[in-house]
Amino acid sequence: MKKTLFLTASLLILNSCTSTKVNLALDYIGAFNDEIKIVKLSNTETEVIFFPMIHIGTEPFYNDVIKKIDSLENMGFYTYCESMSSIPNDSTSLRKARKLLGFPIPKKGKGYMSVLDSLYKFKLKKKLISQPTYKDLGIDSLKGRNVDLTLNQVIDEYERRFGQIILNKCDYQTAYSEKTVCKDKPVSKKNRNEIILEYRNKNVINNIISDSHKKIIIMYGANHFIGIKKDLLSLGFVEM
């Protein structure tokens, strides 16, 4: 999987890196692409178009997203948006999220470029920006909605399955938007994916099944597509 929900954890936790390594990692996840490649699936009732989003990308990339969204909206498509919202100023949940995800959480109103800028001071081969707001991408309350789970729902489900996320003294020595100084063992990739990807993917599928809209855009991070596609195919959808 070339792209992740936010950024690849491997990129953000590199301890010793060069400008070349950072650029290669960003290139690998598609951050320098200037176009988005959409994927269409349908069954006898519903047509779904997946927009594999990158949360840090080029301005031409997001301009291409805007153009394609506008065209599809004119054809009657409705957009599912991805956003794990959290309780404002709930620093405990945000620190638990950092431990669960394995990398810093952007401050409210700030994109993931703020995290990248705080970790690396290298020159990038292309100018990158954070993913614009959904409103700036041309999606309002009449044209789409956030169907994602909240940050606290995700944390609660992880703790229900795997046990409480323990915060230590070191977790409070840095802001949730900064790299932690803790040396404890990270959350296992298997457990993380089961919650961050699979659990949230099932929520998207449940929304599709119960929705009266029959032309749907799924605007989620690219890593979600593999699981969502698998589930849609099992429900009789075919890739077009």
Cα 24 to Cα 4, 86, 158: the distances in Å are 15, 32, 32
Please give the full DSSP string across 179-200, using - where no structure is assigned: -----SPPPPHHHHHIIIIIIH
- How many other CB atoms are found less than 10 A from the CB of residue 88? 6
**Residue 109 CA to its chain's centroid (Å):** 16
User: Which residues, 6+ apart, have CB-to-CB distance to 35 below 8 Å?
Assistant: 60, 61, 64
Whole-number Å distance between alpha carbons of 204 and 3: 19
Give the pLDDT confidence score for residue 3 in this predicted structure.
42
- pTM of the predicted protein model: 0.85
CA 56 to chain centroid, in Å, comes to 10
**Residue numbers in the chain where pLDDT is lower than 70:** 1-19, 87-89, 108-122
Token pair of 126, please? 């292309």
pLDDT on residue 120: 57
The pLDDT score that the predictor gives to residue 49 is: 98
| pLDDT for res 119 | 57
Q: What is the pLDDT of residue 166?
A: 93
pLDDT at 13: 39
Sign of the Cα torsion 86, 90, 93, 94 reads: positive
pLDDT digits (tens, 9 = 90+) for 93-119: 999 999 998 888 877 666 666 666 655
- pLDDT reported for residue 110: 65
Q: Roughly what angle, to the nearest 10 degrees, separates helices 151-162 and 91-101?
A: 60
Residue 238 identity: V
